Structure 1
């Protein structure tokens, strides 16, 4: 009987002998430690710890430190830099310290404890000469038996981490190399010339067929996997049994393997959520990985289980008391052994993690205090308000805040904030495209498909021109991937590519404009219409267009969400937002952070068109929302890289709407100039004040060597839900998501609940992705853009075989190698409403209540009288 057959028999006997937990359920539970990772083309901000919020932020931070050596608090250098900039008020730091001392139990004098803690919070390292002094060696004698109560043991998984292989290093690194290879082969998005054989049978079955021919494995390793189970779940159980993993530790073991390559595992998780065909893909991934682990470890089995034990350096604790606690060696030696142990216990308890935790809390409280002063003082500023000539609905994105502020200064304009998909659960299909793209937050599924249509004759001509462009691109790619044609390709394409390279390098702005102009002139995309009206009843989950009822429902919902149900201006502009950059793998991350890299432009156009339909307006009027006849809705796109507003849809205007349009056109150049001067001055590459910020913004967008075309959502810190008057005169420095809300129009609290569940969740995900990429860039970031390798058409690696990197690049959060630009603060949610509204929200929304209680977000309110309250 073969070894594989023996293992199968043992697994079946175990199942018959006792109740064994379903392996699929264990995989599902283990997946909580990773986040789904979509491809770069559909980049969406992700909360790395979304399924761990039942634990507190501090508990998750401790768990990651103990199991993966990942630190979730800001580094010492970040904290010291924040202190030097005045972002951490010593008053709030002292308050945090006092709260900690009051909640802790210790048996040393309070004054001594406070003295030690205050000095330690200065983050001053113990001098080397003190650590090496002879007096220190004498001071620790007799303390060898002291142990910290919380020292503990922490299991390290997987077992392959503890065995050396012939090439040096542990078996786990060799295992990672193999798994990355198979993941790239399976997940390749039409980048490779040859696809993985039998790929349509699934990841595990394809691997199981091919692994026995893998020359990278030894003959014995290939032979051991030759008769491996045909089904992934059975293979996983067999591998775990062969490694002798106890039933009680299987989930922890699976978590360890998922955290070994969280990027590739996250991509498998994301794919498993996209289609029924691949729903078991994460289980297949673990079956492949742990089966290969068994094959690599087989000569060494059984592997002795090892633990990581926290070793306490007594001499460093004594030195800390001498350095920070105002003690001398003479005073220390006069203490009894029991007293010395109490002092050591306190120093061990007030460790680096606690110090960073207190500093983070003070940093967050300082920001909240500064924001409250801006908002509360603004309540006493009474500007003369004139009827708005135009109203603009912007996405809540933090980059909209400066643009809105400058726009409001240039005329009688009113701006509103709302989620950038404008409440439309749609997927979009552009003219002559065979693919659709969800255009809504990734936590939702589209319910309607909206297509672009055009005149049949114009469409045919456009298709011919587009096909010519695509044929050239396809031919170029095909020649690159073929052996003989690739030899001819440099001769054919060399002159053209050389000219393009020189132009892109030395005249990036002009070259970019010329190339765009040539493409647009050739394609000449015709005017298009949108399929707004549902053609027929369908059983499909996604219907083409909207029914009459849906049209009214979505328009009404969105107008109520943005608080625009009366006092309509002659022109209402729905502003989607997108970005523009060249040669940037993370280009999609600069578009809507919630919608998988989709611009909000298409949604803006759809909503504006719906709002102009006479039957929609008539139905809205019946429901109490009267839109004046002279009011016209238009659509535009706010390009955040160059801070320009591009018109997308401008229907026939009424006389007053035309007046508003002309006024906007006159104001926009100045607004763009001011907004660009503001944003570009924050970039570390800009050392002097620019004469033409607009020109520089366009250069950044078109320069193919530019690694930081804009800052994106860096430094985001707050989500403010309230009327525009609350923040209208405040310079929020592009750090706040702004969502309009009028509690007087929301008696049952349903609008507030929807804002928290939708845009509030999106803002938190964005905030925590920036947070994670800043504090733990080696684990949750994606490294330096200059050294990234785009792989499989999906994501980026560092080098040829690394994990698929999950977070933001270094250039999105760091001003330099030493200085962080993003301030890693947890999101502060500010709600303008009576206290009872927020209490009702916390009582009814247990998910949000858990986020607040467990420290995943911070909460503050502004009551009707303008009083600020931290919760």
Structure 2
């Protein structure tokens, strides 16, 4: 090797931990494999209409969190530890216990082989943990520079620049020529043209041949490139892999550097690259799309910087670190500058080594861990201080299964206080791997977490005598919408459109602006009355079409999915007269991130359809008969219904209520009577958290409806902000606790899980998705300009696939400021890594960690925190 570190060595790792050896990969000169391996530094990014939460560091979890943080800072200047202002704000709020900061410091000092007196080391560290910057006057002090100029700096203290940057970025740094920005602008332009598809007025010619070939056909006519650049690109190979290999060869990128160079380019525009990665995973026809993207990008880079090649050698030594380490001891260690020349060389090295090890990353890591431990200690005190309620409770009148979504927790808590109601937490797709197709629609939507693939299609159907009139009216609506879009995008008719639509759109704008609640209700009612959707049924019986997924389920599959859902809920006996399966969804107006509020796990799919499917299956006499043979006996007077929890306004909307037995009718009437009180209580909690309300209405329900209907409202609800923990256990563990809407709650009874299968499934599915949600909120808070999406008010929805800031930014991959910040200065979301709490004996957790290598790796590498509550109520942390 030529002295260049491998990717893992750049991250400071001692072991590869299941990472393919880079040298073995590149020895084959296999570009597709190199691209595939490099893609781990970005996350797939789907269209915003099917928003799915993804961890930005999904492919890097086999590295330590701290190492990834240092590497990202080095290669892209992206900081994923909370900033000093955020940490100080948390301290002022009382969210960080100073004693735990000191505990973290002592823990670190105990792990070191100190060459300094303990009191000297502690004094330096305590002062440094105040998180104040070194004074600029000290760093520029002439006496400091004069003293350092007399000393020879050991090579050991000269910082090596190991990160591999793109040549365009190096050129921009060294000469000031804006090549990297021009390159990004060119790439964004071509990506928008290609990915827009049907959403753009004019499609990219030859796009069906693939991104690279379409670009290669047209780039020779690009007026933004000069004649020489166009001719250079025209002569490039017609195959993307060959072209990429040629460009890398032209840059003289050594084989051991190729993967790192590709990674640097992917990290330059992680949003557009992530969209290409996502598209490449959807169909075999586009599996090489990320390779094509890199070929386009690196060939454009070649054309832009070729006149400047070869670049000057990159500066490899930076002595500024030495200055900062000396200044740190002067400022925090009370060692005057004049004392340094009096120290021996070994003493100097000892002091410098200690200051270097206790750097800014470590200081903020200690603060972050103290923040996380403070939350854990308070959660522990809340749960363990509450006495378990007696098992001899009155039988439940109604049992309700909610999604584990954190927004369900306040609703469940309020509901349980109003009567003999039991609630359960389970993944909101209810274990049904289905693709849904609503009445009259030709479009199907996967209604399950994005980590899974649908196996069945379920359609809404209606009798022909009611469906035909509905379909005719729906076609009228679609025709008007299509005509409007066509006129808007056509050069000539777009001039006429304002004259035709102006009066109606002006009225619509005024109504939406000044009377948002009433206007929204009126427009929605008008649409519903015109369409008059008929009563529908679901195609649950098995049909095997010639093409596509099977429609419905076989009898055995029906029983399997019902059994699986009931086991995951822990509801296999003592059924109440009425069992309600509750999906969840959201409602907001003029919101690009509406799908994120529906469900961050299921690509924007509401759980209501799944709830209706499961409830219908549970009411099937055949299914009940077969379940009874397996030991799950559902009483004849127990009825299952389906509802949807609308999180914006905290209402339950009924989706499916079959004929009720006498006992079920009494239960239904009882819960109908308390739901307004529950909604009022939860909305009061929700409104109190939203900033700068200035209530317009005396009634809270009016205010939450305004939030949902107001098209100027940038924060219709908080979504899953402040999520912090995932509790896997019985409801009695938390039923007396106010968890403040910060906890994912999954029902689990270890006594019904002898072999640990249920626990393993919860960890592999719901916990994984919750961790993705947690880290997406984390990244959007600590690095909003890179992993977030900026101000929602200035976003541009582009090409129908995502949002940008302006017309030439990266495709933004995270959440807007308004989802994580109260104001530009004050944060709302607390960026804590997810704490997973399991109620089970320790052998269950040990077995889980032994069998689930991926989960164990996340815990050991600091991506997830783990705790356990044993049957006696004792709390143990596993990190």
Aligned mates of 1:310, 1:686 — CA distance in 2: 51
- 2:849 is matched with which residue: 826, 842, 854? 842
- 1:478 is matched with which residue: 480, 486, 495? 486
Match of 2:472 in 1: 464
Match of 2:647 in 1: 640
- 1:829 is matched with which residue: 826, 836, 839? 836
Match of 1:583 in 2: 590
* Residue 660 of structure 1: how far off its partner (Å): 0.8
Residue range with higher mean Cα deviation, 664-673 or 152-161: 152-161
Q: Does 1:451 align with 2:459?
A: yes
Contact 2:281–2:287 (CA<8 Å) still a contact in 1? yes
* Residue 142 of structure 1: how far off its partner (Å): 4.1
Match of 1:682 in 2: 689
Q: Equivalences for 1:418-437 in 2 at 5 Å?
A: 418-437=426-445
Over 3 Å counting, the alpha-carbon distance change for 1:104 and 1:248 in structure 2 is same
Contact 1:139–1:318 (CA<8 Å) still a contact in 2? no
Q: Equivalences for 1:487-636 in 2 at 5 Å?
A: 487-536=495-544, 542-636=549-643
Contact 1:581–1:641 (CA<8 Å) still a contact in 2? yes
Q: Equivalences for 1:716-755 in 2 at 5 Å?
A: 716-755=723-762
Over 3 Å counting, the alpha-carbon distance change for 1:573 and 1:819 in structure 2 is same
* Residue 138 of structure 1: how far off its partner (Å): 6.2
Contact 2:42–2:266 (CA<8 Å) still a contact in 1? yes
Match of 1:377 in 2: 385
* TM-score normalised per structure 2: 0.94
Aligned mates of 2:257, 2:729 — CA distance in 1: 48
Match of 1:25 in 2: 33
* Residue 252 of structure 1: how far off its partner (Å): 0.5
Q: Does 1:46 align with 2:41?
A: no
Aligned mates of 2:144, 2:261 — CA distance in 1: 42
Q: Equivalences for 1:233-248 in 2 at 5 Å?
A: 233-248=241-256
Match of 2:100 in 1: 92
Aligned mates of 2:384, 2:242 — CA distance in 1: 62
Match of 1:59 in 2: 67
- 1:191 is matched with which residue: 199, 202, 205? 199
1:669-726 C-alpha deviation (Å, 9 max, x unpaired): 0111111110111111226797422111110110010001000000000000000000
Match of 1:386 in 2: 394
Aligned with 1:155: secondary structure?
coil
1:133-190 C-alpha deviation (Å, 9 max, x unpaired): 5665566464452555472222332111133599964312111111111110110042
Contact 2:399–2:578 (CA<8 Å) still a contact in 1? yes
Match of 1:410 in 2: 418
Contact 2:158–2:321 (CA<8 Å) still a contact in 1? no
Match of 2:785 in 1: 778
* Residue 242 of structure 1: how far off its partner (Å): 1.1
Aligned mates of 1:381, 1:148 — CA distance in 2: 62
* Residue 223 of structure 1: how far off its partner (Å): 0.9
- 1:667 is matched with which residue: 662, 665, 674? 674
In structure 2, runs of 5+ residues without a counterpart are 1-25
Contact 2:796–2:807 (CA<8 Å) still a contact in 1? yes
Residue range with higher mean Cα deviation, 220-229 or 750-759: 220-229
1:402-444 C-alpha deviation (Å, 9 max, x unpaired): 0100010111110000000000000000000011000000011
- 1:281 is matched with which residue: 289, 294, 316? 289
Residue range with higher mean Cα deviation, 824-833 or 339-348: 339-348
Aligned mates of 2:175, 2:264 — CA distance in 1: 23
Aligned mates of 2:178, 2:858 — CA distance in 1: 39
Aligned with 2:785: secondary structure?
helix
Contact 2:197–2:203 (CA<8 Å) still a contact in 1? no
Residue range with higher mean Cα deviation, 557-566 or 292-301: 292-301
Q: What RMSD in Å do the two structures reach over aligned CA positions?
A: 2.0
Q: Does 1:804 align with 2:821?
A: no
* Residue 319 of structure 1: how far off its partner (Å): 3.3
Over 3 Å counting, the alpha-carbon distance change for 1:153 and 1:135 in structure 2 is closer
Aligned mates of 2:764, 2:401 — CA distance in 1: 20
Q: Equivalences for 1:140-179 in 2 at 5 Å?
A: 140=148, 142-146=150-154, 149=157, 151-163=159-171, 169-179=177-187
Contact 2:78–2:783 (CA<8 Å) still a contact in 1? yes
Contact 1:162–1:171 (CA<8 Å) still a contact in 2? no
Over 3 Å counting, the alpha-carbon distance change for 1:521 and 1:357 in structure 2 is same
Over 3 Å counting, the alpha-carbon distance change for 1:705 and 1:615 in structure 2 is same
Aligned mates of 1:539, 1:467 — CA distance in 2: 27
Q: Does 1:107 align with 2:132?
A: no
1:261-296 C-alpha deviation (Å, 9 max, x unpaired): 110000000001111111111111111111111111
Contact 1:428–1:438 (CA<8 Å) still a contact in 2? yes
* Residue 482 of structure 1: how far off its partner (Å): 1.2
* TM-score normalised per structure 1: 0.95
Aligned with 2:786: secondary structure?
helix
Over 3 Å counting, the alpha-carbon distance change for 1:25 and 1:333 in structure 2 is closer
Aligned mates of 2:453, 2:547 — CA distance in 1: 13
Over 3 Å counting, the alpha-carbon distance change for 1:744 and 1:540 in structure 2 is farther
Q: Does 1:855 align with 2:862?
A: yes
State how many pairs are aligned: 853
Residue range with higher mean Cα deviation, 320-329 or 600-609: 320-329
Aligned with 2:400: secondary structure?
strand
Aligned mates of 2:327, 2:292 — CA distance in 1: 52
1:762-812 C-alpha deviation (Å, 9 max, x unpaired): 110000100111111111111101111110000001111111010111111
Over 3 Å counting, the alpha-carbon distance change for 1:380 and 1:652 in structure 2 is closer
* Residue 819 of structure 1: how far off its partner (Å): 1.3
Contact 1:826–1:856 (CA<8 Å) still a contact in 2? yes
Contact 1:681–1:689 (CA<8 Å) still a contact in 2? no
Aligned mates of 2:172, 2:335 — CA distance in 1: 46
Aligned mates of 2:838, 2:173 — CA distance in 1: 57
- 1:77 is matched with which residue: 85, 107, 115? 85
1:70-103 C-alpha deviation (Å, 9 max, x unpaired): 1110000111111111211122211211121122
Q: Does 1:297 align with 2:305?
A: yes
In structure 1, runs of 5+ residues without a counterpart are 1-17
Contact 1:530–1:606 (CA<8 Å) still a contact in 2? yes
Contact 1:392–1:572 (CA<8 Å) still a contact in 2? yes
Match of 1:15 in 2: none
Aligned with 1:778: secondary structure?
coil
